[in-house]
Amino acid sequence: MLGEATHILAASIMCWVLFVTVDILFKLPEKGGVSGAAAIAEEIRAGGGALHGGYMMGNIVCSPDASAGTLLAACGVYVAGVPGGLAAAVLVFVGNRICHDPGYAGTTGAVLATFVVYGFTQIGFAASDFIAGTVLAILTIQGLSHARSSALLARLWRWRS
């Protein structure tokens, strides 16, 4: 049991780094890229959070971004290995187009996560560790404290630009 908890924690850290890095590289904290993201960012700012971190959080809610891509890729790898992860990436791509998302952060995150998850399964992790890990990683961004997580995301964004 302790080994599984350790795997989930390690997977959570890996997923967090993966999807936050992809989202920052695709400039999601710069502005609201999809409908609704700016409104969410403004509400987070009004609640004491950082605007640019709020943009990223708004993009996470309003369109399949790298965090959704990571979760879906882990599910795809769990069900069907690498082909399942790549099928998930196709679904994320379609979801982005439905949301009129101009970027490819979600699709890129899903493709990268497919190979990360598969690689970790080769050294003793289970794809289900990454499903749980991604949910925990998303929870740290969206569920614990909007003000604190948006401030952290904004600091990471400033480092990039």
Q: List the domain range (segments joined by +) for residue 147.
A: 2-160
Digit-by-digit pLDDT tens for the chain (161 residues) are 668 999 999 999 999 999 889 988 888 777 767 778 889 999 999 999 999 888 888 888 887 888 889 999 999 999 999 999 999 999 999 998 888 887 788 999 999 999 999 999 999 999 999 999 999 999 998 878 888 988 888 888 887 65
Structure tokens belonging to residue 12: 């959570």
Query: What is this structure's pTM?
Result: 0.88
User: How far is the CA of 15 from the CAs of 50, 61, 69, in angstroms?
Assistant: 23, 17, 10
Tell which phi-psi region holds residue 48, choosing left (phi > 0), alpha (psi between -120 and 50) or beta. left
Overall domain count for the chain:
1
